[in-house]
Amino acid sequence: MKILETKNLAIPEIKVIRFARFNDERGYFTETFRKSDFNTLPFLKEILFLQVNESCSKPNVMRGLHFQWNPYVGKLIRTFQGHMVDMVLDIRKNSSTYGKIIAYNMPSKPDFNYGEWIWIPPGFAHGNFFLEATVIEYFCTGEYNPHCEAGIMPLSKDIDWSICDVAMKKQFDLVVKNGVFLSKKDKEGLSLTQWAADPRSKFFSI
């Protein structure tokens, strides 16, 4: 795996890992994951992934904002094909960025000479929206436990967008305006204020 660069986003615990694709007239080849190379990255060195998920979404679908405990789940996500915008909300009480959300643009086309992972450690609610038919893959540090999960509704008015990339916030607003599709479960997600009052929110304190 050839790692080209890593970078912090506006919430520095959220990392992006860019890796090389090797293109020629046939198409491309790439290694998307090699444990020994990930071990060179301090934030992933001790991480063990236990579950791999794949998701396909239609245009204007929005998912999230989800989080888990018992076990806590970190997520390493990439766009396999299509156009995803990933969203990350800080739910760590006492964090300087608590209640703030960021969004990162993650398109992927066959002719790109790179791919990207985004790393989201425990303590953050995660979601995404899609600008075209898209397939994504994500590695998880814990196995899914349906009894220990919750969600914050991504359209909640009390989410703080002040540190989000302006272009991504405009794209979010456009998707909503054009008729966003949310599952029933996600529509019934909590507001940030409701979650803060929930006794389970103490599981995400720093």
* Active-site annotation, residues: 66, 138
175 φ/ψ angles, rounded to the nearest 5 degrees:
-60, -45
**Which H or E run includes 168?**
helix 166-177
Question: Which runs of consecutive H residues, i.e. helices, occur in 124-191?
Answer: 166-177, 184-187
Which tokens sit at 162? 């002040």
Give the three-class secondary structure for 189.
coil
- The H-or-E segment that residue 67 falls in is strand 62-68
Could you identify the residue written with the tokens 């904002």?
A: 65
**Taking Cα atoms as reference points, which of 61, 11, 1 lies closest to residue 163?**
11
Q: What SS3 state is found at 196?
A: helix
- Type of residue found at 123: G
What is the C-alpha to C-alpha distance for residues 21 and 2, in angstroms, rounded to an integer? 8
Residue 26, both tokens: 């046939």
